[in-house]
A = this chain, B = another copy of it.
Amino acid sequence: MQAYKVLEIKQSVFADNDKQAQLLREELKKKKVFLLNLMSSPGSGKTTTLTRTIEALKDELSIGVMEADIDSDVDAKTISDAGVKAIQLHTGGMCHLDAEMTRQGLEGLETEGLDLAILENVGNLVCPAEFDTGSVKNAMILSVPEGHDKPLKYPLMFSICDVVLINKIDVLPYFDFDMDKCREYVHMRNPKAQVIPICAKTGEGIDEWANWLRIQVKAWQES
C-alpha cells in the first residue's frame, strides 16, 4: 500500500499572490506550523537533504513534507520511507508553486499537530523564486557540480533565500568550485543569507543546518 497521497494541484484563481501568501502565513502562525520552502535546480540533492534533515529532527519535531513534481512519485516514496508524513503534489507541468497551490498541498497534507511543514518545490532556479508560497523561510540548495557562479546567473533566487546549502562537498576535489567566491557571490545578492556547506550523502554539515532550522521553528512557535 502506498504510504503517501498523490494530489493533482489546480491552477490558482487569485490574482494577488502576495496577499494570499500573507494570509497563509498568518494562518500558519496561529496553528504554530512553520513552513519551509526548499528550492534548487534539478539534481542538487533536495530529497536526500530532506531525508537527512528528517533523521536529525524527527524525534523532537512533528514533520510533514510536500513533494512537488511535474508528474513522478519518486520523491514522496523516499520521504515516506524516512518515517514522516508525505504527500506528492503533481503540478501538471507547472514550473513553480504559488501560495494558493501551497495551500492546496497543506490541506492535503493535513497540518494539525505539525511543527514543521516542508515544501520541496519544483526543481528550477527561475520561476519558483518569483512566487511567495506563504513560507516562513526560504532555503535553497546549490550543489558543487553546478558551479560557484550561479548567484551571478540566477540573482532573484539567491536574493530571496534565507539560507543557502552548498551540497555535495564530498566531490569538491573533482570540480573547480571556489567556496569563498561562492559565499561572496551569495552575499552580493543577499548579505543576510546563511551559507552552510553540507554533504547529504555522508551527513557532513547536517548538524549545523538542522540546528539553524530548529532555532527558526522554535522562534516562530514562541513569537
Contact = CB atoms under 8 A, between A and B. Distances in A.
B127 A43 contact: no
Interface string A98-115: 000000000000000000
A143 interface: yes
Contact of A153 (B72, B125, B149, B152): B72
Contacts of A175: 171
A92 B22 CA distance: 26
Interface residues of A, number: 34
A146 interface: yes
Contact of A70 (B122, B123, B144, B155): B155
Interface of A: 41-43, 69-72, 74, 93, 95, 122-127, 130, 143-147, 149-150, 152-156, 168, 170-171, 174-175
Given A43-B143, A174-B174, 14 more contacts: A42-B153, A43-B145, A43-B147, A70-B155, A74-B152, A93-B130, A95-B95, A95-B126, A122-B126, A124-B125, A126-B127, A145-B145, A145-B146, A171-B171
25 contacts: A41-B41, A41-B43, A42-B154, A43-B145, A69-B153, A70-B153, A70-B155, A70-B156, A71-B155, A72-B152, A72-B153, A74-B149, A74-B153, A93-B126, A95-B124, A123-B125, A123-B153, A123-B154, A124-B124, A127-B127, A144-B145, A145-B168, A145-B171, A170-B174, A171-B175
